[in-house]
Amino acid sequence: MKTAEIFDGLLSALKLGDTASVIASRRDEIAKALNKDFREKDGCSDYKLMVGSFGRHTAIKGVSDLDMIYILPPGIREAYAGDSGPRRMLERVRDDLKARYPSTDIRVDQCVVRVQFAANAFKFDVQPAFDNADGSFSYPDTKSESWKTTKPRDEIQATRECNLRTSTNMRHLARMARAWKNANGVVMGGLLIDTLVYRFFEQTLEFDAVGTGSFDRMARDFFEFLKNEPEKGYYLALGSHQRVDVKAKFQPKAKKAYNRCVEAMEAEGTSSANATWREVFGASVPLTKSASDARSFKNTEEFIEDRYPVDISDTVSIDCDVTQDGWRPMKLREMLCTGTLLKADKRLCFTVVACSVPQPYTVKWKVLSRGSEAERRNNIRGQIVDSTASGVRTERSDFRGEHIVECYIVKGGIVVARDRIDVPISTTSAHAASS
């Protein structure tokens, strides 16, 4: 498959599709409910602004967090100016939306009213705000008991201008970066992604007018840019220059993505190129058909993206206790670091060792076997499965090959964290067969 076909397929798969109209419908319903109270207007969906990734048109399929500003009537500003004003305003918005959605989880969360639509896993953060003369907004903050300033219009404008200058490649790359984030468990907010993409295009003109046939080079150079970024606690957002915090280091995973890009480019035109691009951007990368597809093994691999929206916002870390009768237990990640070989006939206990997601949540796993031995045995597995105990998946090494175990944290119907560990089994070794 040619490079252009791979990236055309990827970008097509990342489109919001029908989701965009569902989001727009919810947005308008919320605006109507608020306009009925604040402006005594029935059926009016004006006075709102979608911000965040959806507002900057960099969101992708599976987006779950939607940010919306409801523009308040200026005449009531003075009534909410005191210390209690921010909370009173948010509680009024909450009560209006509870009246509209009586069975929906709706609550005040410091600066917004959070509306969790369980049916389609959308979470709207509705921020009531006063429009200022300079185009900024004043929004309520219950923690500081004051009104603060935000400038989303400047961020939207900066995105639009960069996108025009780069022949829409800015938004293409921003969406690809989100796919990488979700496929590899990279904890980065949407505004940070768009800011880094913007900074990438500021330091090079090489990709301002290229087509998808050159997106392999664009992706490679972007990840090179990311891996070489100095570690910072925050960046200044594109357009608004407001502070955007860095939640976790992204450089190590960017370095891995860069190396995969190099491998995929070296394998251009082969089926392994598609498979390697999938390691970077996930299941949205199309697979190629080849003569090997006619082999006798059954491809049973499943993808978490087909079951849940994926929107990574938190971290999870897994490891594996490797044990065998008569041998002391070892940690798999330690074995991988020291080059110790993992052989067959070992008990493997995969465990969640750290997770930043607050309970309750659900843990899902995937155990995938790769290589000629797995294909010969018609046993590549790869189904999405439950834990065998709380936060634990127990397996046994069976046969030789490169195997992968992935862990997914599902909260509110959305995959919010994921981790992966490679399980290379040598000599007569291993995929993990359920014990």
Q: What number does CATH give the domain 15-148?
A: 3.30.460.90
Q: Using CA atoms, how far apart are residues 433 and 396, in angstroms rounded to an integer?
A: 5
The residue type found at 407 is C
CB 303 within 8 A of CB 407: no
Q: Please indicate, yes or no, whether the overall pTM of this predicted structure exceeds 0.85.
A: yes
Whole-number pLDDT of residue 428: 43
In terms of DSSP H, where are the helices of 39-101?
A: 52-56, 85-100
Token pair listed for 149: 């300033």
Q: 298-434 is classed in which CATH architecture?
A: Sandwich (2.60)
Name 91's Cβ contacts closer than 8 Å, sequence gap at least 6. 108
DSSP string, 207-249: TSS--GGGHHHHHHHHHHHHHTSPP-SEEEPTTT--EEE--S-
The sheet carrying 327-331 orders its strands as 327-331, 316-324, 347-355, 392-397, 432-434
CB 287 within 8 A of CB 300: no
Whole-number pLDDT of residue 328: 73
Per-residue pLDDT of the chain (435 residues; tens, 9 = 90+): 899 999 999 999 999 988 899 999 999 999 999 999 999 999 999 999 999 999 999 999 989 899 999 999 999 999 999 999 999 999 999 999 999 999 999 999 999 999 998 766 789 999 999 999 999 999 999 999 999 999 999 999 999 999 999 999 999 999 999 999 999 999 999 999 999 999 999 999 999 999 999 999 999 999 999 999 999 999 999 999 999 999 999 999 999 999 999 999 999 988 899 999 999 999 999 987 654 444 556 777 899 999 998 999 999 999 998 887 666 788 888 888 887 767 766 788 999 999 999 999 999 999 887 655 555 555 667 899 999 999 999 887 765 667 889 999 999 889 999 999 988 776 543 344 333
Q: Using CA atoms, how far apart are residues 407 and 395, in angstroms rounded to an integer?
A: 14
H or E segment to which residue 397 belongs:
strand 392-397
Q: What is the pLDDT of residues 233-287, one digit of tens each?
A: 999 999 999 999 999 999 999 999 999 999 999 999 888 999 999 999 999 999 8
Q: By CB neighbour count within 10 A (0-12 exposed, 13-18 middle, 19+ buried), where does 42 fall?
A: exposed
H or E segment to which residue 155 belongs:
helix 152-165
Q: Using CA atoms, how far apart are residues 367 and 175, in angstroms rounded to an integer?
A: 28
Q: Using CA atoms, how far apart are residues 410 and 426, in angstroms rounded to an integer?
A: 33
Q: Using CA atoms, how far apart are residues 187 and 416, in angstroms rounded to an integer?
A: 9
